[in-house]
Amino acid sequence: IKALNPKPAGDFDHLVVQTAIPDVLMKRLPSHQGGGWRVELNSDTLPRVLVNQEYYTQVSKSASQKKDREYLSTQLQNANWLVRAMDQRAQTILKVAAEIVEQQDAFFNYGIEFLAPLKLSDIAKVIEMHESTVSRVTTNKYIGTPRGIFELKYFFTAAIPSLGGGELHSAETVRHKIKILIGEEALPNVLSDDKIVDLLRAQGIDIARRTIAKYRESMGIQSSVERRRQLKAAI
């Protein structure tokens, strides 16, 4: 009895997983409204900051000294500036999200294999803002879509060239292809990184073995040796 743990539940992880709340929402418009997508801010996540003009008027009436009136005027200007700044930031998030939806239309219609390579500078150029602004408003900001909730940063992926200089492939799409190939393998045909290179090149994707290894490790997928050992143990 002394060897038993008096608090057995203490071994369990007590971290609470917080579900991401989308800052932007998108939904498909019906055909009679022209089709396409509607992108709008999630009103539940917007900060509700208003300036109480009535209170300012009431307080300013009792300000008899010039310095008091100047102080109240300055604070009112600061409050109004904050409200305008927050509104401008919200509109910037909406503008960036709308352009991302425009650029990644094929992904939302057909799935991850159609995710297009995209850079921050691509969006910044179209909406005529600085690249750093786009980076800032897409960090820790989420969009709710028919395909799930995604961080806006998810849609910015590196480009993988095609053999023969054709259409570019998104790095995220290539990761997805690697995951599918490995998920379908069975003994004795466990795929080495070199074999995955050959299979992807057969699909027109020009990729190096070290890139395969990097993507595989980023997804928490073990080497072919470890996967073969696990498959044998499961028999």
Q: Output the DSSP codes for 71-98.
A: HHHHHHHHHHHHHHHHHHHHHHHHHHHH
Where residue 14 falls among pLDDT bands split at 50, 70, 90?
low
Residue-wise pLDDT tens digits, 81-136: 999 999 999 999 999 999 999 999 999 999 999 999 999 999 999 999 999 999 99
Look up the pTM and report it: 0.78
**In sequence order, what DSSP letters do the residues of 16-40 get, joined into one string?**
PPPPPPPSEEEEEPPGGGTSSEEEE
Residue-wise pLDDT tens digits, 25-43: 999 988 888 788 999 999 8
The two three-digit tokens of residue 137, written as one number: 């408003």
Residue-wise pLDDT tens digits, 115-130: 999 999 999 999 999 9
* Least confident window among 45-54, 107-116, 133-142, 153-162: 45-54
Closest CA to 200 of 212, 183, 215, 218: 212
